[in-house]
Structure 1
Amino acid sequence: MKVTALGGCGAMGRATSRELAENDEVDELCIADVDREAAEAFAAELPGTVETATVDVTDHEAVVDLLADSDVAANALPYAFNLDVMEACLEADAHYLDLGGLYHKTQEQLELDDRFREAGLTAVLGIGASPGLTNVATAKAASHLNRVEEIHIRTGAKGGGEGFAYSAKTILDELTMNPVVFHDGEFAEVEPLSGRERYEMPDPVGEVEGFHSIHSELATMPYVFEGVREVDFRVAFSPDLVNICDVLIGLNLTSEEPVEFEGVETTPREFLDFHLDRQPKPGAVEEWKSFRVDVVGEADGERAHYRESVVVESRLDDWGLKATAVWTGVPMGIAAAVVGRGDALSTGAKPPEEVLDPEAFVDELAARDIVIEEERIE
Structure 2
Amino acid sequence: MRMVVIGGAGDMGSVAVEYLAKQPECREIIVADYDYQKAAQLQSHLGNNRIAIKECDVTNRTSLAEAIAGATVVLNFAGPFYRLAHYVIEAVIESGISYVDICDDYDATRKILEYDDDAKKAGTTILTGMGASPGITNIYARMGANLLDQAEEIHTAWATEGGEGSAVLFHLLHSSAGKIPGYRDGAYQDINPMHDDGALTVDFPAPLGEVTFYDIGHPEPITIPRFINGVKTVTNKGAMGSLKTVRSIVQAELWREEPVKVGNHLISPNDFTVSFLQQNPHLLNPGGSTGLGALYVSVQGNKNGENLKYEFISISSASMGEGTSLPAAVASVLLGLGKIKQPGVIAPECLNPSIVLRQLAKNPVPEGQVNSGLIIRLTRENGEIDVISPGKPMTIPAAK
Q: TM-score, normalised by structure 1?
A: 0.87
CA distance in 2, matches of 1:10, 1:34: 10
| Counterpart mapping for 1:1-378 below 5 A | 1-46=1-46, 48-49=48-49, 50-78=51-79, 79=81, 80-157=83-160, 160-164=161-165, 166-194=167-195, 195-238=198-241, 241-249=242-250, 252-260=253-261, 267-269=268-270, 272=273, 275=275, 287-314=291-318, 322=319, 324-354=320-350, 356-368=351-363, 369=365, 371-378=373-380
- Give the 3-state SS of the residue equivalent to 1:69 in structure 2: coil
- For residues 250-278 of structure 1, the C-alpha deviation after alignment (integer angstroms, 9 at most, x for no partner) is 665433344346776564335656x4799
Q: Does the CA-based 8 Å contact 1:98-1:125 persist in structure 2?
A: yes
Q: Does the CA-based 8 Å contact 2:153-2:301 persist in structure 1?
A: yes
- For residues 105-143 of structure 1, the C-alpha deviation after alignment (integer angstroms, 9 at most, x for no partner) is 111111111111111111101000000001111111211
State the 1:70 CA deviation: 0.9
Q: Does the CA-based 8 Å contact 2:137-2:157 persist in structure 1?
A: no
Deviates further, 198-207 or 49-58:
198-207
- Aligned-pair identity in percent equals 26
- Give the 3-state SS of the residue equivalent to 1:236 in structure 2: strand
CA distance in 1, matches of 2:74, 2:173: 27
AA partner of residue 67 (structure 1): I
Higher RCO by CA contacts (8 Å cutoff, separation 6 or greater): 1
5+ residue gaps, structure 1, are 315-321
Q: TM-score, normalised by structure 2?
A: 0.83
- Give the 3-state SS of the residue equivalent to 1:105 in structure 2: helix
1:82 and 1:279, CA in 2 relative to 1: closer, same or farther beyond 3 A?
Answer: farther
Partner of 1:318: none
State the 1:312 CA deviation: 2.5
CA distance in 2, matches of 1:280, 1:12: 23
- Give the 3-state SS of the residue equivalent to 2:292 in structure 1: strand
CA distance in 2, matches of 1:277, 1:115: 41
State the 1:101 CA deviation: 4.1
- Give the 3-state SS of the residue equivalent to 2:246 in structure 1: helix
CA distance in 1, matches of 2:303, 2:47: 47
1:18 and 1:279, CA in 2 relative to 1: closer, same or farther beyond 3 A?
Answer: farther
CA distance in 1, matches of 2:280, 2:14: 16
1:298 and 1:246, CA in 2 relative to 1: closer, same or farther beyond 3 A?
Answer: closer
1:249 and 1:346, CA in 2 relative to 1: closer, same or farther beyond 3 A?
Answer: closer
State the 1:200 CA deviation: 2.0
Q: Does the CA-based 8 Å contact 2:112-2:345 persist in structure 1?
A: yes
Q: Does the CA-based 8 Å contact 2:182-2:191 persist in structure 1?
A: yes
CA distance in 1, matches of 2:72, 2:2: 5
AA partner of residue 135 (structure 1): N
State the 1:203 CA deviation: 3.7
CA distance in 2, matches of 1:15, 1:31: 12
CA distance in 2, matches of 1:261, 1:161: 29
Q: Does the CA-based 8 Å contact 1:345-1:357 persist in structure 2?
A: no
Q: Does the CA-based 8 Å contact 1:74-1:97 persist in structure 2?
A: yes
Partner of 2:394: none
